[in-house]
Structures are given as C-alpha cells and as structure tokens.
Amino acid sequence: MRIASLLGLMGATVGFTMAAPAWAEGVPECGGLRFEGLSNCEVQVSAGCTAGCSKLGVYQVRCATKLVKVCDSQCTVTADSGCSGTCNTQCKSDCDNGVNVICAMNCFDECAVGRDAKCNGAADAGQCKATWDANCDSKCDSKCVTVDGGCYTHCIECCDGSCTASANIDCQTTCQDKQFKTCENEFQADCSASCSADGALFCDGVFVISGSQIPACISALATRGLTVNVEANISLGADGLKGDIAAGLCTYSPARAAGLAAPAFALAAATALAARRRRRSGSASR
C-alpha cells in the first residue's frame, strides 16, 4: 500500500516570509536536510515503504548531509584568498549597482559553481553531487549569520561561505567516500525497520527520516511556514503516526526555490550571480 503524501501528512497550506527564509537552510529535526527544491514529499508504509527503502541511491543526500558534519573536524581549510578577493570585488560592484544580495538565499547557488562539471565525470555522479551540495549547505548555513544587514554584509558572508566550501570540497569528498557505504547501510536498516510501524518520509525519492522521528521533522517544518492540518483518521503522536493508516493522506508538494525569492530582487540577484559565476567558474572547477 502506497500512502501518498506529507509534509504535514495531509491537507496543507504554506506561507513563506523573507524574515525567515526557512527553506534556504538545513532543518536539524529533519536530519539537517535543506528542503528548498524538493517536492513530492510522502510518508510510505508497508509494501511501498519497503520498496522505497530498498532502492539504491535514496540515501545519498541524507548521508552526505550527515557526513559533512562528521568530516568538518578534519576539513578545516580556510577560504582561498583569490576566490574571496574576486568574489568580494564583485560584491561591491553588485551592491553599488543596486543588487540586494541576501546571503541565505544566494549562497548555495553561488557555491554550486563547477559542481556539475566536476561530478559528471565522477565514478558516482549522484554521490559526488550530494557531497558537494551538503558541503555548500553546511558552509553557507554557518557563514550566513546576518539577518538585518546591508547588501555588502550579506554578500561578503555569501562569498565566505561559498569560497570556504570550495576550499574544502576535496577533503570532504575523500573523507565521506570512506564512510558512505556504511552510512547508507545504517539508514537502510533504520528505514526498513520502520516500515511496519511509523513508516519513512521521502521527498522526490530521497530518504529524509523514519519512524518516531517523523513527527518532530513535520513539526519543525510547520514552524518554518508550513501549516499542518490533520484529516481523515490520522494524527501525529509523540511516538509517531496514530490512527487508521489505510484511510490515506492527501498529497502536498512544497514550493520550489523559484517561489522563495522576493520579486523585488530575484531577477537582479540572479543576473549578478550569473556574472560572478562566469568569473569564478574556471577556478571553481579545477
């Protein structure tokens, strides 16, 4: 039985505010995953859950997100001065020209420069991209600390995050490679064990969380702008899903990244970031 749905189990509405760009950062209660760009989130139970848990690659994003924190203790390279200098110079130009850069919203895209060029030739392109993205997320989350600040402050933090991530990507890749298979096996065991009870949460086929951890994840998503409404005979208890699972859940897909950008600056910021990427793409892909 495949239970369609989630991000709240159920009929849901979503509202984002620029004061708290919820989806542009990792959600600790959901394993640190960043939900921006993910959709088709659903809780699976029984046969559908077992099938989902058995698929290869469904744990890559989740493992990379976990392992980037594990590897942070040994991957402590500071941002390259050349990268920072070029990026910061472009920042001043962007801000002087009226581009409203917001670190938490722009850092990841800036950081992703060179990812596809490098990972498409990797032995496991999916794992490579997952590691790259998790590294960017982690560094951007730690560097984007300003909430109320001017464009230049945000832009400098954005540069610091993306350049620090670039400096550490090789270390992160080497470190994670040694632990990735073990991580996937552990998550697969947890996922499979939860299928007969609370199930597992997947988004776009990516494993998010399982078992009794699901309610805390959904609750955390709700505090970031997602209103959760229970329908049918399903409820969320402290220990997991309660009620008649067979009653079913309705489908909900969270907004993608394009819906998160404030219209006032989205186009200008995208143009400026594209220009900066072109300037940095050569060094980022090496």
Q: What is the pLDDT of residues 247-262, one digit of tens each?
A: 333 333 333 332 222 2
Are residues 252 and 143 part of one domain? Answer: no
DSSP assignment of 229-267:
---TTEEEETTEEEE-GGG----B----GGGTS-HHHHH
Tell whether 100 and 146 lie within a shared domain. Answer: yes
The answer on 167 and 73 residing in a single domain is yes
Distances (CA, A) of 245 to 4, 190, 191, 230: 11, 20, 17, 12
Q: Is residue 5 part of a domain?
A: no
Statement to judge: residues 51 and 85 lie in one domain: no
Q: What is the mean pLDDT of residues 10-30?
A: 48
Same domain, 165 and 270: yes
Whether 6 is covered by a domain: the verdict is no
User: What is the tally of structural domains in the chain?
Assistant: 2
pLDDT tens digit sequence for 38-92: 767 778 888 888 999 999 899 999 999 999 999 999 999 999 989 989 988 888 8
Percent of the chain with pLDDT over 70: 69
Phi, psi of 241 (to 5 degrees): -80, 145
Cα separation, 270 vs 159, in Å, equals 15
At 275, the pLDDT band (50, 70, 90 cuts) reads very low
Axis crossing angle, helix 180-194 with helix 60-71, rounded to the nearest 10: 130
For residue 221, tell me if it sits in a domain.
yes
pLDDT computed for residue 122 by the predictor: 92
Residue 286 lies in a domain: no
Which range of residues forms the domain containing residue 205? 12-58+193-258
Q: What is the mean pLDDT of residues 95-108?
A: 88
Q: Are residues 141 and 247 in the same domain?
A: no
Q: Is residue 63 part of a domain?
A: no
53 in a structural domain: yes
Residue 34 included in any domain: yes
- Residue 85's CB is within 10 A of a number of other CB atoms, namely 13
- Confidence at residue 242, expressed as pLDDT on a 0 to 100 scale: 52
